[in-house]
Structure 1
């Protein structure tokens, strides 16, 4: 890793550099892949603000607060930015990439593209995942849905598999003093018995994979016999591929149970939907 050394008043200090890597169409439009920023002890949003100061074309993807605009994703050392506090220090690299979808909205030259899944899409995905579970020979006795996105898929899979015992967990991340990496705690603990039972953890999509990994660790505390994971979809860049999934989508997915929430978020960002 590159470092810049300076001496002032007889003492030396080290300013650590971190990388901002642009990917996909953003890299082509901006005309470069790597932006080096003197990160020091800066959080990821501050690093992105400094990157925008160096390369004005990055304003297409990053707002004045150093956060990604709609239609873009940011990964901080491989972790989805939405799972991290803004003062989370960057150890090596921040990746910024556009999300490509079918269907689009455009305002003042800005573009956000969406794919709206239908209930028929969800039914097909649930049927596909359920079939894979049955063919694998795994017989879940308890299904645990991850709040909030995993609740509907968990209920549908429970119905498809004939599983009567359903529980939920909610994972919240925090950073301990002096600890850079996010650590989870159970905001909503399990209230259903899973000891010595086969458990299937369900979420809607495995994006970074971090939430799913923390859910596995949380459920393991209750001493199940075996734990498997299932999501309807995964992203190609996920760090955790579940045991069962239907499709890999390089898209900004809008599920039928969250359309209003997504549309309100887009309106708040200045888009017509």
Structure 2
């Protein structure tokens, strides 16, 4: 086992008697968070029993969004923080909001010189926006891709791998890659890298929303937001995973 430093940001330190830094022994980042939860059960508002962040909270493992990592990936440093350091703020997006965002993105694409031939949605968040954009733009070819960040045992290097490969050909075609939100931006960044292996003619990216701190600004987006966005297709998941643990 290795020593893992966990940093608690924002108001979370109030749940650990003012401690902003906790050291635990663990083989992976999720095991480290489970160890943290065992010592501070009051942090169950932010971490579930599997050692994963609950909705409204973020975990960065050595600077990488944990959503891009396998649960068994090793870690030196783990940051746990609410979406907004002063407290969690949510935006509950309606279907009308989604349709308006899709319209705005489609208008931007149609006003540009880019004419996509294929739409690829990033699992899971990009599937529904990708389908709606395809309908709006009159595109028949739709695919999905899922990217994970692989860190081999004993190595600190990072490289993406395809958890679900693309099943349709995009060789020499213009591709629009779609996701719901560009938060850290790492998902889009790695997805573009993975998609480029299929030798498309061109790749452009689109998300419904972006966060001010994203490291990857897509080519097309509808709006910049600060809140944690809850989409209409994930409200039940939100109810299960957050409200019952408040």
Taking the aligned partners of 1:145 and 1:172, their CA distance within structure 2 comes to 15
Taking the aligned partners of 1:36 and 1:50, their CA distance within structure 2 comes to 10
Q: 1:69 to 1:168 in 2, by over 3 A?
A: closer
1:98 aligns with 2:82: yes
1:122 to 98, 106, 115: 98
Matched residue of 1:236: which SS?
coil
Q: 1:80 to 1:115 in 2, by over 3 A?
A: same
The one-character-per-residue Cα deviations of 1:138-169 (angstroms, maximum 9, x if unpaired) are 22121111222211111221222232322222
Contact 1:35–1:51, Cα closer than 8 Å, also in 2: no
Contact 1:19–1:36, Cα closer than 8 Å, also in 2: yes
Question: What is the aligned-residue RMSD (CA, Å)?
Answer: 3.4
1:144 to 120, 128, 131: 120
Taking the aligned partners of 2:200 and 2:242, their CA distance within structure 1 comes to 41
2:12 to 6, 26, 31: 26
Taking the aligned partners of 2:61 and 2:193, their CA distance within structure 1 comes to 22
Matched residue of 1:199: which SS?
strand
Q: 1:66 to 1:219 in 2, by over 3 A?
A: closer
Contact 1:198–1:227, Cα closer than 8 Å, also in 2: yes
Q: 1:86 to 1:172 in 2, by over 3 A?
A: closer
1:179 to 143, 155, 160: 155
1:68 aligns with 2:40: no
The unaligned stretches of length 5 or more in structure 1 are 1-14, 101-110
Taking the aligned partners of 1:63 and 1:154, their CA distance within structure 2 comes to 30
**Between Structure 1 and Structure 2, whose CA radius of gyration is higher?**
1
Which residue in the other structure is 1:195 paired with? 171
1:35 to 11, 21, 36: 21
Which residue in the other structure is 1:168 paired with? 144
2:188 to 209, 212, 215: 212
**What is the number of equivalent residue pairs in this alignment?**
244
TM-score normalised per structure 2: 0.79
TM-score normalised per structure 1: 0.72
Alpha-carbon offset, residue 231 of structure 1: 0.7
Contact 1:176–1:183, Cα closer than 8 Å, also in 2: no
Taking the aligned partners of 2:193 and 2:101, their CA distance within structure 1 comes to 26
1:157 aligns with 2:133: yes
